[in-house]
Amino acid sequence: MAHNATSCASKWGENIIVLPPTAQLQALLTVIRDERTGRGDFVFYSDRIIRLLVEEGLNHLPVVPQTVKTPTGVQFPGVAFEGRICGVSIMRAGEAMEAGLRDCCRSVRIGKVSGYRCDEETAQPKLFYAKLPDDIAQRYCLLLDPMLATGGSCLKAIEVLLEQGVKEERILFLNLIASPEGIKNVQAKFPKLKVITAWVDEGLDAKQYITPGLGDFGDR
């Protein structure tokens, strides 16, 4: 994996990357957390955070040297991305992150997995469905879900990817808000997974929702 100037491993470990808590990011998160924020603004400001997450995620993909000649006739010793990627969204809220990925990677292939937190007591996801690119085992996977609460949905999705032959170290989970519990759970089971999150909140409430969180992302 490539190392770069912007990536900063967090107190959670080198594979848990939390975006720098700039005033800009905090302001964006404040808008989407506010219960008074309507759908239009919620989508607009979430998209801005998603874009930051995607750009940071791409920073963690490997590159190889590539020299090009510029119109001034001079050689520029640059780099090019090495591997192929795909997006995998966890339905339904994760689908809201697909456009942000497409904005940065125009023709990226995107698969979907779905799990539902049917059981309100355990919050365990049930009913799993997956539609994934045939050659996913050869790709880096950007797994998309805005909320990491108990970690149940993320863990299920990763299991599906691993069953399809994707290497754990080639999965990058892009996420807007995480709970400490969710981070600990995914890290304990998949230590080589990279998590890129915009913010880590205080914890979970009695309904296993992230607190302070932003409520149900999919509904909003």
Q: Which residues are the active-site residues?
A: 117, 122, 216, 219
d(CA 186, CA 99): 25
Residue 93 within binding range of ligand PRP, rule CB under 6 A: yes
125 binds, among ligand PRP, ligand URA, none (CB under 5 to 8 A by kind): ligand PRP
Stretch that binds ligand URA, among 7-15, 126-134, 155-163, 210-218 (CB under 6 A): 210-218
Smallest gap from residue 177 Cβ to ligand PRP (A):
10
Residues 146-165 touching ligand PRP, rule: CB under 6 A, are 146-154
The β-bridge relationship of strands 109-116 and 147-148 is unpaired
Residue 92 within binding range of ligand PRP, rule CB under 6 A: yes
Residue 100 within binding range of ligand PRP, rule CB under 6 A: no
Torsion on CA atoms 117, 219, 54, 111, rounded to nearest 10: 60
DSSP string, 62-102: -EEEEEEE-TTS-EEEEEEE-S-EEEEEEETGGGGGHHHHH
d(CA 126, CA 43): 27
Smallest gap from residue 181 Cβ to ligand PRP (A):
9
